[in-house]
Structures are given as C-alpha cells and as structure tokens.
C-alpha cells in the first residue's frame, strides 16, 4: 500500500466489501415479530387482511341513521348497547339509536355515529343536538389498508410503528435481511482480560470490548471475538476460525514495521496490502483476504483502533443495516488547535451547551479517557495547520 488519503482508503474498503449488501439480502431470514425491531425488511410485506377488520365506531356515542338526525333536536329510542367485544349486533332499524363504544362493531343500517357529548339521554331516549353526515365517525372495513396491499415495503428499517402495523394485521413473523457477521481479533502478547491482575508490561485489552460494542451499535453481529499472542501460527488459526463464520474480519494491532507484528507477518505472504493512511491517529492500516473473507487491519493503540472503525467501517455497516449515517455538521470552535503537516487529523471534542465545540484531550492515540469524554470528532483537513478560536470546523458525531 502506498500512502493513501483518508478518502482513498475509505473508497478502497468500500470496494473490498462490495457485494456484501447483496449477500445479506440473499441470505434473508425469518424472525419473530418481537425480534424484528431494528432489522431491515427483506421483501414487501402485504397485508393479509383488511384494516380495519370490520366497520367500527371511532367514538363513544350512538350509532344512528344519518337521515334521522337532519332536523334537530332529534329524539330516538335507545334499542341497545354495543361494547367493543366479539359480537354480531342486529341491524339498526330506522328511527332508532344504539349506544356504542369506541372500536365496537357498527350494526348494519347505521351509517353515522354521534359522539356522546353531542347528546342528552332520558328514560331510554337519546336526544341528538348536532347532525352528522353519512360516514361520520364510522371506520369502514379496509379504509386504512386493503388486503393484498403493501403494508411494509422492502428495505425498511423496522421501528415500533412498523411492528404495530404488522401485529394489527395478524402477522407473527417477518422476512428480514441477514445482518453482517463481523469477527474481531485483537493481538499482542501484552494483552490481558479485565479480570486479570497485570504485571509490569501488561495492559488490559480495551480494543476487543470497544470493537464488539461498536460493531453491534452499527447494526452488525459479532460472529467471533478472539485475542491472540504474537505467534503467527496462533494468528493463522484465529483467522481460519473467523473466516468460517464471518463476512468480514477486523483485527487490531500487529501491522507496524517493527518486530513481533503478527498480523503483518501472517497476512503479507498471502498478499495483504500494508502501509499508511495520511491521518492521525490511525496511520498504519492494512487490508487482505483470508479464505475469501475481507480482512480490515486497524492499528493497535486503543484510540487509533476506535477511530479507524468510525472512519472506515462504521459508515458501511450502518448503511447495510439501514441505520442513519452519523451526523456531520459545522460548529464554531472554542479555543485554537494546531495540526500535523500532511495528515488529516481527527481531534476528540465535545459539544458545549451553547452549540460550540471544544477539544477535550490531546492527539495521542493512547488517550482513552479523553475519547470517553468526547461526543464529537473535529475533522482537520490535511492542508490545515492551525484553526483559530471562532473559526468554523467540521465535526463527526461519535
């Protein structure tokens, strides 16, 4: 890999993952409606029934013949009551009214409902004080949607409103796109798990936790998470296990030019492209294929790993999952910043209460507390060396 710009490397990764969307659609799966929230519909879902299922009342009131309440006030005998429950009411004779509740079956013959607040009752008689036209407050069968009509189109990120419509039509499961399956492999003999007690030279493995969480928040599934030492055979074994269950493999660490760079040593003989992207943090980057599965290799410093994911992979995963892109907007800078010549810098920052933005930590790729305190990145262009207070900066939402 020659030195690439951020945009060039992002385009390279998009090309590397080209066709993944087609794979996800072709691998569609049926899930219970209760598990469909946040999934993408894989096909048009037609309504199997008319909605509403039957003529019903929009209001608590009285079902009447509209012709009987033209001259006001109109007094009609109350011949019964219809509640919202399974019932087959008798047809309503002209010159009569029936008390009816919201959602209850409107009897044959009735063609309007008078809300209770427009009436008075006395001794089995209702007096109507306001006329109503034919059809008022009557929900006709199929007036919302007719059977066979598309209830949910394909390619829709299913929210609660879609699930409500599907449930109302009696649909219990739905065909959705398969989620992208992403494997995570973190590397380094110095890494230990959170429950372990570190000795001198050991560090906790933050990257596996961060990448797993980031992948899931971007709408994908973590198919495998592994941590390997600096042995090439262990790395190759982990790659083989990951390739068997994944659409994409993500690694962290092991791609610099020194010794003990296990990812580079394992993948370069297989044709990996290893080099640098003109960005800070996150300069070392590599890509490869292993058993036909794309491999994205991020640097190992925790901030570099997380920002590499946000810049290069998260936008693609969110797009595949039907999620909105992370917000990017222009904000006014509080304080001034300097940048590195020839590199596009991503500074950790926080939106202030007045809508301006300020940096919260230095540029170091190890400053995880600073990243945790951030909610934005300031995107400093490659050819910009200083930005003054009050200038407008471009930001990425984290």
Domains contained in the chain, number = 4
Per-residue model confidence (pLDDT) at position 1: 55
Contact 391, 380 (CB under 8 A): no
Q: What is the pLDDT of residue 166?
A: 98
Whether the pLDDT of residue 381 is over 80: the answer is yes
Q: For 253-289, what is each residue's pLDDT tens digit? A: 999 887 789 999 999 999 999 999 999 999 999 999 9
Q: Please identify which residue in the block is written with the tokens 């999934």.
A: 39
Q: Are residues 170 and 254 in the same domain?
A: no
Provide the pLDDT for residue 340: 86
pLDDT at 132 over 80: yes
For residue 296, being part of any structural domain is answered with: yes
Q: 1 in a domain, yes or no?
A: no
pLDDT tier, 3 (very low <50, low <70, confident <90, very high otherwise): confident
Same domain, 157 and 135: no
Q: Alpha-carbon distance 363 to 382, whole Å?
A: 15
Which residues are CB-contacts of 286 (< 8 A; sequence separation ≥ 6)? 1, 255, 263, 264, 267, 272, 273, 274, 275, 295, 297
CATH of the domain at 266: 3.40.980.10
Confidence of residue 364 (pLDDT cuts 50, 70, 90): confident
CATH number for the domain including 97?
Answer: 2.170.190.11
Confidence of residue 2 (pLDDT cuts 50, 70, 90): low
Give yes or no: residues 151 and 251 share one domain.
Answer: no
Mean pLDDT of all residues in 177-203: 93
- Do residue 230 and residue 309 come from a single domain? yes
Residues of the chain above pLDDT 90, percent:
90
Residues 6+ apart with CB under 8 A from 197: none
Which of 119, 121, 117, 81 has the alpha carbon at shortest distance from 98?
Answer: 81
314 and 250, same domain (yes or no): yes
State which residues form the domain around 132. Answer: 56-139
pTM across the whole model: 0.85
């Amino acid at each position: 890999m020659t030195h690439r710009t951020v945009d060039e490397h992002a385009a390279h990764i998009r090309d590397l993952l080209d066709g993944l969307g087609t794979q996800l659609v072709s691998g569609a799966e049926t899930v219970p409606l209760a598990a469909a929230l946040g999934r993408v519909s894989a096909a048009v879902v037609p309504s199997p029934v008319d909605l509403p299922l039957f003529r019903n009342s929009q209001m608590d009131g009285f079902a009447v013949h509209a012709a009987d309440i033209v001259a006001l006030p109109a007094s009609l005998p109350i011949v019964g009551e219809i509640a919202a429950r399974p019932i087959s009411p008798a047809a309503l004779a002209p010159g009569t009214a029936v008390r009816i509740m919201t959602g209850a079956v409107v009897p044959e013959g009735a063609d309007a409902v008078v809300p209770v607040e427009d009436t008075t009752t006395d001794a089995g008689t209702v007096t109507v004080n306001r006329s109503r036209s034919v059809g008022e407050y009557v929900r006709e069968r199929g007036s919302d949607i007719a059977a066979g009509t598309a209830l949910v189109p394909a390619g829709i990120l299913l929210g609660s409103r879609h699930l409500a419509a599907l449930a109302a039509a009696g649909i219990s499961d739905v065909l959705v796109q398969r989620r992208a399956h992403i494997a995570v492999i973190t590397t380094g003999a110095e890494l230990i798990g959170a429950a372990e007690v570190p000795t001198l030279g050991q560090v906790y493995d933050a990257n596996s936790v961060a990448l797993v969480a980031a992948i899931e928040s971007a709408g994908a599934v973590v198919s495998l998470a592994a941590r390997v030492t600096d042995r090439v055979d262990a790395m190759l074994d982990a790659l083989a296990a990951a390739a068997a269950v994944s659409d994409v493999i993500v690694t962290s660490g092991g791609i610099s030019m020194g010794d003990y760079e296990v990812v580079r040593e394992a993948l370069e003989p297989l044709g990996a492209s290893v080099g640098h992207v003109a960005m800070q943090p996150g300069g070392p980057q590599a890509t490869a294929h292993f058993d036909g599965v794309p491999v994205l290799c991020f640097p190992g410093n925790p901030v570099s790993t997380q920002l590499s994911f946000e810049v290069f992979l998260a936008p693609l995963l969110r797009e595949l999952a039907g999620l909105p892109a992370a917000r990017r907007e222009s904000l006014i800078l509080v304080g001034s910043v300097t940048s590195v010549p020839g590199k596009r810098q991503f500074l950790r920052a926080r939106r202030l209460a007045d809508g301006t933005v300020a940096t919260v930590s230095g540029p170091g790729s190890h400053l995880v507390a600073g990243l945790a305190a951030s909610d934005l990145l300031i995107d400093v262009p490659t050819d910009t060396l200083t930005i003054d207070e009050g200038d407008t900066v471009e930001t990425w939402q984290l």
